[in-house]
Amino acid sequence: MHHFHYSGPSLQCEAVDLAAVARLYGTPTYVYSAATIAENFHRLQQSLAGLDVQICYAAKANSNLAVLRHCANLGAGFDLVSGGEIRRVIAAGGDLQASVFAGVGKTEDEIRLALENGVFALHVESEPELARINHVAGKLGVKAPIALRVNPDVDAHTHAKITTGRSDNKFGIPLKQAAGAYEVAAKLKNLTLRGVQMHIGSQLTTVAPFAEAVQKVAPLVADLQANHGITYFSIGGGMGIVYKDALASGAQAWWDAQPAAQRPLTPEAYGETLTPLLAPLGLKVLLEHGRFIVGNAGVLLTRVEHLKRGANKNFLVVDAAMNDLVRPAMYESYHEIVPVQRDSSRRALVADVVGPVCESGDCFAKDRQLQEVGEGELLALMSAGAYGFTMASRYNTRALAAEVLVNGSAFELVRQRETFAQMIAGEKVPAFLQ
């Protein structure tokens, strides 16, 4: 569910006309719905009713300060994977004491930053990392709270580049080695064993892999609770969102029309399956979802430059590009593309929707059917709230896009479009070239 819809011919985010946003702030521009973020957060929170649940929003999905603050106000902690993300949460007024620090390559400086700011726990990916954290904690004169990330070797049946819980992925400690790793950790005097963590991948569309992973790791969790007094089990994130039919999926009628066997995974189905598996443990449960909370809460507005008619196909050239939204080029991902002003009287157009970057891979959609649109008209790429701006680059010396947050009938610029001066501010021509 989300709050993007047509009001007459105009596409709106909540009560804001997206054409008005484009007129004021230009394109390409990301637009986020505060109401959608809040609804997704609360549905996820309520899905495990009866359990002690803490949502640690995965900041890598969308780390704009306004989005982080909104999540913090909703009661979120954060799942963080770099020193930069730690600093962002601090800058946004988020609670590090309800947050976890993950990642396979934490530096000593990053570990120090996390410990100095009272992070709830560090999620440890390897035995060498245990030694590093123990060393840093000893120098600070503190005991570092830790949980080991356990790799359950479960196939999440998702894109190969976003699966994280198989034995051939770089993440975590193999389940068979985890008990031994905890025994090593228990002997390190500057560590406190606080929990167990797992995460098997992103954009999962069925609950079965989640259930399989929980069932595989639960015996270890119970043993560690009995012998080491751990207090929480983090089951990670990864619940998928609707990308195809993304605009229609905002309406209850669309959901009701889907055959039961084909309905997208919902928080309610997720909770119904996992609650009976988690409840007997009697532990705090951490959820580390990102995409589910913000993915359908954002769109990327772009303007048509022109329609290029080729020998065998049409190319609709827009001002957004792969540097703004890399997911189609990187993951072959699908994003629904809709007109900001729809007109049922127009003919259909079949075209590749492409950007201006000098790469054949700069293509948002191939042979996509749209209404006929012309130069200067606006399109919206749906489901762009997660892994859109956070994966953006300045390739081809293109400025980073603007970002806007909508709340009801109000909207505000939460990131200014980057200027050329800002792009080159850290560069210089050395004296020996002058």
Whether residue 144 sits in one domain with residue 269 = yes
Q: Dihedrals φ, ψ of 371, to 5°?
A: -70, 150
Residue list, annotated binding site for substrate: 291, 327, 331, 359, 387
Domain span holding position 166: 34-290
Does residue 390 sit within a domain? yes
Whether residue 267 sits in one domain with residue 314 = no
Whether residue 362 sits in one domain with residue 245 = no
Per-residue model confidence (pLDDT) at position 348: 94
Whether residue 319 sits in one domain with residue 286 = no
Whether residue 209 sits in one domain with residue 167 = yes
Does residue 15 sit within a domain? no
Does residue 419 sit within a domain? yes
Neighbours of 139 (CB within 10 A): 12
Does residue 398 sit within a domain? yes
Number of domains in the chain: 2
Whether residue 82 sits in one domain with residue 231 = yes
What is the rounded CA–CA span in Å between residue 90 and residue 86? 6
What is the rounded CA–CA span in Å between residue 60 and residue 432? 40
Residue list, annotated binding site: 238, 288-291, 327, 331, 359, 387
Say which residues have a Cβ less than 8 Å from residue 184's Cβ, sequence separation at least 6. Answer: 127, 130
Residue list, annotated binding site for pyridoxal 5'-phosphate: 238, 288-291, 387
Per-residue model confidence (pLDDT) at position 249: 83
Whether residue 286 sits in one domain with residue 170 = yes
Whether residue 87 sits in one domain with residue 141 = yes
CATH number for the domain harbouring residue 329: 2.40.37.10
Is 56 one of the annotated active-site residues of the chain?
Answer: no
Whether residue 218 sits in one domain with residue 89 = yes
Domain final position from 223, 255, 290: 290
Q: What angle do CA 399, 81, 64 make, to 5 degrees?
A: 40
Domain final position from 290, 320, 350: 290
Q: Which two tokens stand for residue 333?
A: 């991902």
What is the rounded CA–CA span in Å between residue 262 and residue 245? 13
Say which residues have a Cβ less than 8 Å from residue 38's Cβ, sequence separation at least 6. Answer: 70, 74
Which is the catalytic residue, given 13, 56, 71, 358?
A: 358
Does residue 155 sit within a domain? yes
> What are the average pLDDT values for consecutive 10-residue runs of the chain, which has 434 residues?
95 98 98 98 96 98 98 98 98 97 95 98 94 98 97 64 50 88 96 95 88 94 96 95 86 74 85 97 97 97 94 94 96 95 95 96 96 96 98 97 98 98 96 96
pTM for the whole structure: 0.94
ω into 28 cis (within 30 of 0)? yes
Domain final position from 290, 314, 344: 290
Q: Dihedrals φ, ψ of 289, to 5°?
A: -85, 145
Whether residue 300 sits in one domain with residue 286 = no
Whether residue 300 sits in one domain with residue 285 = no
Look at residue 75 and give its three-state secondary structure. coil
Whether residue 144 sits in one domain with residue 52 = yes
Per-residue model confidence (pLDDT) at position 202: 80
Contact indicator for 247, 4 with CB cutoff of 8 Å: yes
